[in-house]
């Protein structure tokens, strides 16, 4: 019993000692309260890789083009205003966008539909020029140059892929290649064009739209896309220098005349065509074109070309095939004289040919 009393007394004594100790601590030790402050600041993120300012420079100049034949819509594409004067605004696009059209309408970036007049088009350069009322012009694109452009430079396009639903679409890429040549079909004949290559997305409806540099200057006119299952990201544009040369004539209603030499030609490796024309070459050629026929009254006849001649070069430019021959020839103008190197009967010969006729004269 005595031990139990001692145990209870110890517990009670400990309880009171704890209370007294706690009171003494609160009384003699100052209570320190730590205040935590939280500062919230507004953070502004600066985008260093944006092209928005460049896009703004050209955006209002871009238009959607709708081509009609007998009031039926036959094609759509993109164009851009490249010039404005006291009379009109001038819109550049691809010739294939308006080819066969009896009337054309454009839709501005604000959605307004405007009647346009076809001033002219050229199928070989694939450039066409339209005019609209100058009061309908929302912006004029600045024309740049490909001269200082370098592979790897940032480029972008503005266009209307798949029509009006996606009008004003911007795609970005780089300059993938300069001085490329691609083969296209014009009037059922192969023809080579000099183009810029880019990996910026170019889809149906983008044709005729601007390819611009990081400064918002137009350096090319989108013309086609290489469409193959195994190839992606290869778009092509006509260099702006070539496009402007054509546009300067077309906006005045002038027809662009391309020279013709007056030869029926075949590739050196086209054995079927050579056989059907009864042409037997006495040696193998990796490059060049073979004369399969000479048209009377044209420059080639006057120069003395004969069936079976193999044309090797023009003014020192080696000819690879028929498409390349046309590409080189069409760089010349009516009245120019070219030096043609060719093979005949085991000998290499040269002859001057004066281009006095054009395709449009035929």
CB neighbourhood size of 153 (10 A): 16
pTM of the model: 0.75
pLDDT for the residue numbered 164: 82
CA distances (Å), 301 to each of 5, 31, 138, in order? 142, 114, 53
For the stretch 241-258, pLDDT in tens is 999 999 999 999 998 888
For the stretch 98-127, pLDDT in tens is 999 999 999 999 999 999 999 999 988 899
For the stretch 254-307, pLDDT in tens is 988 888 899 999 999 998 989 999 999 989 899 999 999 999 989 999 999 999
> Is the predicted pLDDT of residue 169 greater than 90, yes or no?
yes
Of the candidates 82, 79, 112, 73, the one whose C-alpha atom is nearest the C-alpha of residue 94 is 79
CB under 8 Å to 254, separation ≥6 — which residues? 120
Of the candidates 349, 361, 255, the one whose C-alpha atom is nearest the C-alpha of residue 299 is 361
> Is the predicted pLDDT of residue 76 greater than 60, yes or no?
yes
pLDDT for the residue numbered 189: 73
Q: Which residues are catalytic?
A: 96, 126, 207
> Is the predicted pLDDT of residue 223 greater than 80, yes or no?
yes
CB under 8 Å to 42, separation ≥6 — which residues? none
| 228 HSE (CA, 13 A, CB side) | 5
- For the chain, what is the largest distance between any 2 Cα atoms, rounded to a whole number of angstroms? 147
């Amino acid at each position: 019993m005595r031990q139990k009393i001692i145990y209870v007394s110890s517990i009670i004594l400990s309880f009171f000692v704890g209370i007294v100790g706690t009171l003494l601590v609160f009384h003699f030790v100052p209570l320190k309260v730590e205040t935590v402050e939280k500062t919230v600041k507004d953070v502004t993120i600066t985008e260093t890789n944006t092209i928005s300012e460049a896009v703004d420079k050209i955006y209002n100049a871009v238009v959607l083009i709708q081509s009609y034949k007998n009031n039926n819509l036959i094609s759509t594409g993109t164009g851009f205003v490249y010039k404005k004067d006291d009379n009109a605004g001038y819109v550049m696009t691809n010739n294939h966008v308006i080819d066969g059209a009896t009337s054309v309408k454009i839709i501005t970036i604000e959605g307004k539909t405007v009647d346009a007049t076809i001033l002219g088009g050229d199928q070989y350069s694939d450039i066409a020029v339209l005019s609209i009322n100058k009061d309908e012009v929302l912006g004029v694109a600045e024309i740049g140059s490909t001269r200082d452009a370098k592979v790897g430079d940032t480029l972008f396009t503005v266009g209307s892929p798949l029509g009006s639903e996606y009008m004003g679409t911007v795609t970005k890429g780089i300059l993938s290649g300069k001085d490329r040549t691609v083969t296209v079909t014009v009037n059922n004949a192969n023809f080579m064009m000099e183009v810029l290559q880019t990996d910026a997305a170019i889809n149906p409806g983008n044709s005729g739209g601007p390819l611009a540099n990081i400064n918002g200057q137009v350096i090319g006119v989108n013309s086609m896309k290489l469409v193959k299952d195994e190839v992606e990201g290869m778009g092509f544009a006509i260099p702006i220098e070539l496009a402007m040369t054509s546009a300067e004539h077309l906006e005045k209603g002038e027809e662009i005349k391309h020279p013709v030499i007056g030869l029926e030609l075949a590739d050196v490796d086209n054995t079927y065509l050579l056989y059907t024309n009864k042409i037997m070459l006495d040696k193998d050629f990796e490059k060049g074109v073979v004369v399969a026929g000479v048209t009377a009254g044209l420059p080639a006849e006057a120069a003395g070309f004969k069936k079976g001649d193999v044309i090797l070069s023009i003014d020192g430019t080696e000819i690879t095939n028929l498409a390349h021959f046309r590409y080189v020839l069409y760089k010349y103008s009516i009245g120019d004289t070219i030096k043609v190197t060719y093979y005949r009967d085991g000998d290499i010969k040269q002859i001057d040919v004066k281009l006095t006729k054009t395709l449009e004269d035929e």
